[in-house]
Structure 1
Amino acid sequence: MTENNWDLVDSFFDEYDLVDHHIKSYNDFVNNRIQNIIDITEPISLEDENGKKYTLKTGKVHIKKPFTKEADGSESTIYPTEARLRNLNYSAHMYLEMALNAEDEDNELEEVYIGELPVMLKSDICHLNGLTDEELVDNGEDPQDLGGYFIVNGSERAVVTMEEIAPNKIILERIGEPEERRAKAIVTSIKSGFRARISLEYKKPRKKGVFLRISFPYVPGEVPLVILLRALGLATDEEIITAITDDFNYQMIIADDIQVSNEALKLDQEKLVEMSQEERREYLQTAAIKYIGNRVAKGMNEDYREKRARDVINRYLLPHMGIEEDRCRDKAIYLAEMTEMLLQVIHGEREPHDKDHYTNKRLRVSGDLMEDLFRVAYTSLTRDMSYQLERTLSRHKELSISHAVRSDVLTENIKHAIATGNWVGGRAGVSQLLDRTSYMGTLSHLRRVVSPLTRSQPHFEARDLHPTQFGKICPNETPEGPNCGLVKNLALMCNISEGSDEKEIKDVIEKMNVLD
């Protein structure tokens, strides 16, 4: 390397630490994401036996730097070294502004203690943040220690970076050989921690049936695509065909599907002919919603089936596009685009996506994983508060927020996950005991990237070194044995970028006069 290159390396490490990706992500979680989760959570509402309604209003969250309560009731500041030696948790205390209002009341917000949050060393809410080397030594810390891990029950736990397929993005796959003419388009749609996997598959039916079928959460089995598009508002045959494609060959496939789907919907053809354009649209859309309603709420009365079908479509089909009723048509257009891409793969006009290409991957670091954990823990806390308040109402006692909040609900939920590594969503091994065999071993552990694929399957392509990993993933650092290629490490000068705010990007695009 030339002298200039070494200067470049030095200046890079003057700007970034080796565990910066964890610390920056955790800081964003503490400074922004916790408040967002609290703001978007539905407020608790209660009603007593006289019909009087109460609503719990929440305000800002305040996080106090780590301290511990001694046996005599006094509070003292705690540093990481003391937490390690005394087998304590190095955690911050969280306070949330709350007020319980009866109808037409607007009481003042009061600060209530809601629980503890494990603190990442060297983050904004850590006592070590901003200390000089001399001050670190005075507090029993190694100035060379980069932080980026937690201390729970006295043991050091690292949250490893998880690799996953990029969410909210269409991934096209070919199934089997090209001659078999089978393919799949998959979208992992994520909204506020909820993951919905939408899968659109093209396969030739053995007997008379539809080519294009779609599956999404809370709907048993697969639904013909045409029926779902009708339910979403592309009701007439012409609307469906023109929304999907201009290519005549593809239009013939869709026309065949429409014919078979119409038979499944048991449409009254004579009645259809006599209807006006608007009546026909409404009739077709209602028939499609009834069909889905029979799947999601079989055996229930008709009104409930229709309501449940609409609810499932709004909430669980492409939730990242919105869960409001007026987003249905946009979802239909999205699925139509997805269908055209799938048909192009079938006819060899478009190459399927490479799932191992790093463009189609995302890395979830500490802040993202802690966000998932906090969301579930906070939901448990609100449910418990609701139960405690209802119990107080039923006993005709005076309502008190401070008595309703059991802080150990939130604390234990988060602490247990970090202490055991069993994360929300059934994932295990997300947090691990920090490797202290050597200094290099510790740095390596904090830059580890883990793939969620099962270790017992070969997954040859996933284990291979992909050309797009160049400069991002270290080609040498991977274990031997079953984890080979599934447990990786970030390259030394790899820096993970944070996601951008959608609204800012939309504003920029609108200023460029791009059509909606």
Structure 2
Amino acid sequence: MSPRKGSAKVDNTGKGEELKNNNSTENGKQNGTKAHLDDIDPNYVQSNVSLADHFKGEDLNAPIKTIEDKWKLLPAYLQVKANNLIMSDVDRSFYLRYTSVTVGTPERMDQNAYDRVITPQECRLRDLTYSANILVDVEYTKGDQVCFMKGISIGRLPVMLRSNICVLKGKTDDQMAQARECPLDPGGYFIIRGTEKVILVQEQLSKNRIIVEKDSKGMMLASVTSSNMELKTKTYVVTKKECYYLKHNSFTEEIPVVIAMKAMGMESDREISHLVGGTDHHFTSKFSPSIEEAAKLGVFTRQQALEYIGSKVRPVKSFSADKQKLTPSEQALNTLFETILTHVPVINMNFLEDDRDYVGNKRLELAGQLLSLLFEDLFKTFNSLVKSTIDKNLKKNNSASRFDAAQSLKFHGEVITGGFSRAISSGNWNIKRFRMDRAGITHVLSRLSYISALGMMTRISSQFEKTRKVSGPRSLQMSQWGMLCPSDTPEGEACGLVKNLALMTHITTDDEEEPMKRLIFMLGVEDIHLFSGSELYQPDTYVVVLNGTLIGLTNQKQRIVDQFRKLRRKGLFSAFVSIYVNLSQSTINISSDAGRICRPLIIVENGKPKVEQRHIDKLKAGEYVFDDFLKLGLVEYLDVNEESDCLIAVYEREIKPNTTHLEIEPFTVLGAVAGLIPYPHHNQSPRNTYQCAMGKQAIGAIAYNQLDRIDTLLYLMVYPQQPMVKTKTIELIGYDKLPAGQNACVAVMSYSGYDIEDALVLNKASVDRGFGRCQVMKKYATLVRKYPNGTKDVIDGVQMHGAPAHALEKYSELDPDGFAFVGSKLESGKVIVNKRSPTNITGEVPAGGQDLKPTPITYKSPEPGYVDKILVTSSDSEQNLIKVLVRQTRRPELGDKFSSRHGQKGVCGIIVGQEDMPFSDIGMYPDIIMNPHGFPSRMTVGKMIELLAGKAGVLNGELQYGTAFGGSKVEDMSRILVENGFSYSGKDFVTSGITGEPLNAYIFFGPIYYQKLKHMVMDKMHARSTGPVQSLTRQPTEGRAKDGGLRLGEMERDCLIGYGASRLILERLMISSDSFEVSVCEECGLIAYKGWCQHCKTPKKVMQVKIPYAAKLLFQELLSMNIAPRLILENC
């Protein structure tokens, strides 16, 4: 995320002094968080959007840097000489050079468009791709003259919403409304053919960093993934029989490390020993077997080492015919310097084993980096196609002088356009030149609720195999504190592998290395090349490492670190460059690479935080934004590695003389989704995890433009309410503006047997008044196609005359144009769009006109629906596109799923009339009755406190706060209840609605925020008798959509066996499933055919037997494998 005005997710609070009242402290802190988060646009995807901006040509003249920077900027990419020039093999004087590249603005591609500017909402409705042209300026030869051409489109780049070139960038709320967009929409996603796609943040191990660990046999192993301009390779140093070997996939077998070092020019054993560890006995004893092994192999000189390695190099397939053949030693030299890391990792047995799951050893890849890699691959493919076209035309002597090479660029634009669209649509990043083959990079943006879309933006996906039962990568690491949300992770096999960012995290982009190197040397660090290996291990000597590369040595560790941090706090270089000391390895590590997670903290000096009340007052007044706090050196960003070098206080009262930093707000250790939970610190931790999953499934308001959208499936709450007990996170992310739930009055008591196992009793009067009511919008779409032979689809009204009434019944809701009337009621089987298609779409059209067959769009739901709106437009292929939105309004019914914000889910057990519900002494009836057995084992104390706080808020006329590690206190809430004439405990005197008598106990009674989840009985209810079967096994099909059967599984079968109901097993598993009569030979037991035994060559002893068809199929498949199952027949 590039630093810009107010671009960090942080809560800047006045930490000058701690206020006595916890609630007022939160309110003071909140002002800072709110003021700063208001500057963010969009809220949670700034890192993604910003990196995409870099990619889209923000800085055309930025020089190419190291490691991964090469593919950060699209224009800088063209500055690599291999990419900006195309030469011809036919005419040596011909060249085509790219001189400039820019990305345009998103435009309409329609031929007759009155206005070129296109909005994202139009792309959603018309199933278009929201993209912009990639424009290049070229210089090329045409015959004897040099030509220049500007603004040639070489393809289209999908545009991320709210990025620099998006039409929504910098728009006010009013302008967003005019563009039919929601101001709260986070952006950070793409629209491909009308579908919203998000590129998930990808978790990878650090590049160019040495990881020391144990292999499967318990031997020490050092590995490094090297990334340079052209290649990504992985190098290992492994231990075998006390010797060290270099392992790389360029070699057919492992190479002794000493031979590799000799090949690099270090011929003498003394030089190698000095480089590895000097004269220290510990190092010489460990390394001497490796030196002896090289001597045994007869390798003493550099030439011998190169010849040895050359014999082990794996042959590489070459596609160039005139490529010069290399000698083994030249091949070895090329391999060493082009693909193997040129510094060999030192195995030091004193070092602690590295933890590859430590967050500091991870890097996150964002959309910009992934698209850059993809563009590099597509652009090289594009250039090779352009080159082949140029060569083909230059071979033609008669037209070579007239050939305009710039025109050939336009012909191959689909390579880049189609490549981007395919990758983002499928989520498959298959880039052979980087050996990258990843699936599931992109997902369809979930629009189930506002919070589900927001949660997807902060999701981190790991490439770790989900089916492997390994606990390490799934565990909650201590290094994740403040960086990754501890609660928001899925259940099941993805648990701990799919993570989410915490509220204030920021993902770094690349900073240049050269200025950092100059700064390091100016601070007094001496260049590494001036020293020998033995000097690396002097007691007070520290090695300075920049992004994994050894730079120099210093014996003034603390002075270097202090001065570096002082300069960073003054804003003299990027705020995201980190420095930390590794005492066990005697290194000072400086990192400026991309993909590190960092977060802001208040600086503490001499036991006092630098942020004071006057700073907060200026923030409230709008005089300061968050960037000013960075420039003034009051707040700084720390990554995970630097955090471990600091002493951070959570609260001011914990500050000690050696404290270096202070947390801005403790609740920001949670993510956006977990931040919705009130009092999460009072719940058992799995409950918060369950709520993170269920909060994304809650039906509510999804966006301000939700009624303009025509999505495949849309769930909308009719009367959404903001919660009575909110959290600071709810305000920061805008959940109170787009909520997904309702405040229900809950009585915690057992009332009839319909509330066992978490079932809820609902009040019928509340349901009648709109509690839990939702609308389900479903899209029906069709294209009116034009075919190659000139025929086309037709939509028209129904010809009424001559047809029987029952045949016309399904067309009863159509208007004269062939569409259902808007507002008309649709039953199952009714036609929505009366479309007819030609029977012949390839051959010649008969003279009498095209023959048409009916291909209508029909309504398929068992429940009636209403036509909400119809859209008639055109797609990008200039064909008419019809979209019909059908609406169903649903009341809560038995079996619908509800959940509070504490992972307490339950289905509706019964809906009771209000006259039968219990009521309190002030005449209040509960909306929901919940069984008290839901509390003891779940330990969701947060839910109890929410009820108290909600009740106090209602009586006091104000919203209460349940923010993590703070919020409204129970004592204050109890005091408000007592002041208003209620029990301090939240319990009320309740009378039975059935008998009219007072209940024998006081009932815990008050408002709790309940969410209606998308799981509804109407979508799941299914039954069948006979029906469709699978063609292979002849068993009933599977699933509600295919009218499938209900499966009797292994456990149900075991249950029937336990009861001894063998006839029932026979009926379920054979007679009602796939009973089949088969001929079986009584003599040999094999299956016969039409009364004839092929094995015995006789029909005499062939009997008819009923077995399951799947069993018959199994026997035949076993016979094909030379296994003969024989049936032993008995009379019965």
Pick the TM interval, shorter chain. Answer: 0.7 to 0.9
CA contact (8 A) 1:217 1:317 kept: no
Cα distance change on mapping 1:8 and 1:204 into 2, 3 Å:
farther
Report SS of the residue matched to 1:235.
coil
Structure 1 residues 8 and 461 mapped into 2: Cα distance closer, same or farther (>3 Å)? farther
Whole-angstrom CA distance in 1 between matches of 2:142 and 2:224: 44
Q: How does 1:194-343 map to 2 (within 5 A)?
A: 194-204=231-241, 211-246=243-278, 247-264=280-297, 266-267=298-299, 284-296=301-313, 303-318=326-341, 331=342, 334-335=343-344, 338-339=345-346, 342-343=347-348
- The one-letter amino acid of 1:353's match is D
1:74: Cα distance to partner? 6.8
1:66 aligns with 2:106: yes
* Aligned counterpart for 1:80 among listed residues 120, 127, 149: 120
Equivalent AA in structure 1 for residue 284 of structure 2: Q
Residue 487 of structure 1, CA deviation: 0.4
Of 174, 179, 191, the match for 2:228: 191
Asked if structure 1 preserves the Cα contact closer than 8 Å seen for 2:142 and 2:404, the reply is no
Which residue identity lines up with residue 488 of structure 1 in the other structure?
Answer: K
Residue 413 (1) aligns with residue 419 (2): yes
Q: Which moved more, 1:374-383 or 1:190-199?
A: 190-199
In the superposition, the TM-score normalised over structure 2's length comes to 0.40
Question: Cα–Cα, structure 1 residues 423 and 358, in superposed 2: closer, same or farther, change >3 Å?
Answer: same
Query: Hey, what does 1:505 align to over in structure 2?
Result: 516
Is the Cα–Cα contact under 8 Å of residues 201 and 367 in structure 2 kept in the other structure? yes
CA–CA separation in structure 2 for the residues paired with 1:140 and 1:75: 17
1:451-466 equivalent positions in 2, closer than 5 A: 451-466=462-477
RMSD: 2.3
Q: TM-score, normalised by structure 1?
A: 0.86
Deviations along 1:257-296, one digit per CA (max 9) or x if unpaired, are 22222332x35xxxxxxxxxxxxxxx71111111111122
3-state SS, counterpart of residue 238 of structure 2: strand
Partner of residue 676, structure 2: none
1:26 paired to 2:23 = no
* 2:28 equivalent in structure 1: 4
Post-superposition, which runs of at least 4 consecutive aligned residues in structure 1 deviate over 3 A? 71-75, 101-111, 297-303
d(CA) in 2 for partners of 1:193, 1:482: 36
Q: Is the 8 A contact 2:252 2:314 kept in 1?
A: no
Closer/same/farther in 2, CA of residues 21 and 53 from structure 1, 3 Å limit: same
- Which has more helix, going by share of residues? 1
C-alpha distance in structure 1 between counterparts of 2:110 and 2:231, whole Å: 40
Measure the CA separation in 2 of the matches of 1:109 and 1:316.
Answer: 38
| Cross-structure match for 1:400 | 404
CA contact (8 A) 2:75 2:102 kept: no
CA 1:204–1:99 in 2, change beyond 3 Å: closer, same or farther? Answer: same
**8 Å CA contact 2:99, 2:138 repeated in 1:** yes
Question: What are the superposed Cα offsets for residues 111-169 of structure 1, whole Å, 9 maximum, x if unpaired?
Answer: 32110000000111101111111111111111111211000011000000001111111
Residue equivalent to 2:194: 154
Aligned to 1:44, the other structure's residue is in SS state: strand
What residue identity is the alignment partner of 1:400? D
Contact 2:209 2:225 in 1 (8 A): yes
What SS does structure 2 have at the residue aligned with 1:83? helix
Contact kept? 1:69, 1:75, Cα under 8 Å: no
1:422 aligns with 2:439: no
State how far apart, in whole Å, the 2-side matches of 1:303 and 1:188 are. 27
Q: CA deviation at 1:9?
A: 2.1
Map of 2:991 onto structure 1: none
Find the aligned partners of 1:102 and 1:259 in 2 and give their Cα distance: 64
The offset of 1:103, in angstroms, is 11
Instruction: Find the partner of 2:168 among 122, 128, 144.
Output: 128
* Counterpart residue identity of residue 11, structure 1: A
Q: Determine if the alignment matches structure 1 residue 479 to structure 2 residue 487.
A: no
State how far apart, in whole Å, the 1-side matches of 2:523 and 2:144 are.
46
How big is the shift at 1:47? 3.1
The 1:150–1:219 alpha-carbon spacing in structure 2 relative to 1, beyond 3 Å, is same
Number of aligned residue pairs: 468
Alignment check: 8 A CA contact 1:298 1:305 kept: no
The aligned counterpart of 1:327 is none
Counterpart Cα distance in 2 of 1:310 and 1:233: 11
Identity of aligned residues (%): 27
Q: Say which structure is richer in strand.
A: 2
Which residue is equivalent to 1:437? 448
CA distance in 2, matches of 1:156, 1:470: 32
CA 472–298 in structure 1, closer or farther in 2 if over 3 Å, else same: closer
Q: Is the 8 A contact 2:138 2:406 kept in 1?
A: no
Contact 2:120-2:130 at 8 Å conserved across structures? yes
Q: Deviations over 1:93-113 (max 9, x none)?
A: 011111224899764354321
1:140 corresponds to: 180
Residue matched to 1:273: none
Letter in 2 for 1:372: L
Q: Does the aligned pair in 2 maintain the 1:198–1:214 contact within 8 Å? A: yes
C-alpha distance in 1 between matches for 2:89 and 2:380? 20
Distance 1:71 1:176, change over 3 A: closer
Q: Which has the higher contact order (CA 8 A, sep 6+)?
A: 1
- The CA deviation string for residues 468-493 of structure 1, in whole angstroms up to 9 with x for no partner, is 10111111111111111000111122
Deviation at 1:231, TM superposition (A): 0.9
Indicate the structure (1 or 2) with the bigger Cα radius of gyration: 2
Residue range with higher mean Cα deviation, 492-501 or 96-105: 96-105
Structure 1: unaligned runs, 5 residues or longer = 206-210, 268-282, 319-330
